[in-house]
Amino acid sequence: MNIKSIKGMNDIFEPQIHLWRFVEDTVRKHFETFGYTEIKTPIVEYTVLFTRSVGDSTDIVQKEMYTFNDRNDESLTLRPEGTAPVVRAMLEQNLLNTDPTQKLFYWGPMFRYERPQKGRYRQFFQYGIETFGISSPRIDAELISMLVSLYEKLDLKELTVRLGSVGCQTCRPVYKKKITSLLQPSIKILCEDCQKRLDKNPLRVFDCKNPTCKEVAAVLPSMLDFLCEPCHQHFDQVRDDLVRLKSTFVVDKTLVRGLDYYTRTVFEITTTQLGAQSAIGGGGRYDKLVEELGGPVTPAIGYAGGVERLVLLLGETAHQHKPNLKVFFAVPDKKGQDLAFTLAHALRLKNIFCEIDYNDRSLKSQMKRAHRLQAENVLILGGSEIDQGSAVLRNMSTKVQENIEIGNLEEELLRRLS
């Protein structure tokens, strides 16, 4: 019986693993520069956390969550998104009592049961940021600009910031009522999902990929035309500050997010380089979520991006991020094995990446392996070399060879390879 991985859950290994590490290091350093500290939450939470926060009318809750009962008959769910667990952790650990302003970021696997497709899997990795305690629209603009600069560091091209607003508890109900009344005459031609959403979340029709639903949504009025004065002022300030930070964007009147907790600012960052799956991340404000989960009134804004899509965009550069093998020890006979063994260990303790062959292969085979591993140098340490009191260091690029006295071997290699 051949045991295979679960559909939509992938192994990550060389050479892609080096690119993943590069992306993670870049994301972490960039977020820390802007004052964000890392938080790690469990991958399993009580199901109620997501039904209360994400919304029981969303596709995530209705169709995509990996939910099961444990031995105590408690309903648990593999986390499908990162924001709700961060809010839960912040409240449980009383972080707001330490400082009412919190700036946190995370990186880790999420789980959703959906059809796997390019850059979108059932186990997928997300990086995200969450800012709590700042109501000023300036943090919205700063966060968006910070993300654009992150992608510029990663040398991503053809990016677009799509910016919108979904209003607040004052103006959104008015808009939802208007949209519902306008959609009622067309209810029979809407897809089954949009028909179910009509009462609880009619705005999701703007996010539907069904061609008929898209035609119906195209003639509907925009949420931006229904914003109350405070939401209108907030949106205008975000736009002004983005201009001030020289961050380009387009206002998207149809932009909605797939989760129920969003308020006011919503945005997505897209690229033309991924075909139909154009979004590399999205986010927005969720000023009521902390309160809804039992905390104090706390304004908040966040963003989440998919790691797999970044890796797809950067895939051709994977080889650039592989660590350089500084030296490969080629030991064609047993006479040099003890010395090579102890020397390789000593160099590794000094952070020199080296490899050694333990399988008693021929010198020719060992040289082929060194070439396959893209070693910068090969140290040939055979019996004849030891008898002469020296080892041969061969530069694999220039093919130049030099003899190094065995008595000074460690010091000379450190000098040449550091």
Write the pLDDT tens digit of every residue in 116-173.
Answer: 887 789 999 999 999 999 999 999 999 999 999 999 999 888 899 999 999 999 998 8
Total H helices, total E strands in the chain: 16, 16
pLDDT of residue 259: 63
Q: What is the C-alpha separation between 53 and 89, in angstroms, rounded?
A: 14
pLDDT of residue 58: 74
Report the sign of the C-alpha dihedral through residues 85, 91, 95, 99, in that order. positive
Which bin fits 133, alpha (ψ -120 to 50), beta or left (φ > 0)?
Answer: left
pLDDT tens for residues 317-374? 767 888 899 999 999 888 888 899 999 999 999 999 999 988 888 999 999 999 999 9
Q: What is the C-alpha separation between 121 and 73, in angstroms, rounded?
A: 28
Contacts of 305 (CB under 8 A, 6+ apart): 126, 127, 128, 147, 269, 280, 281
- State the residue for tokens 């028909």: 195
The rounded percent of the chain whose pLDDT value lies above 90 is 64
pLDDT of residue 117: 80
Overall pTM surpassing 0.75 (yes/no): yes
The DSSP output letter for 322 is: S
The amino acid at residue 266 is V
Q: What is the C-alpha separation between 334 and 340, in angstroms, rounded?
A: 10
Q: What are the structural domains of the chain?
A: 16-171+227-318 (3.30.930.10), 323-417 (3.40.50.800)
For the residues 48-68, what does the mean pLDDT come to?
A: 85
Q: How many Cα atoms are found within 13 Å in the side-chain-facing hemisphere of 135? A: 8
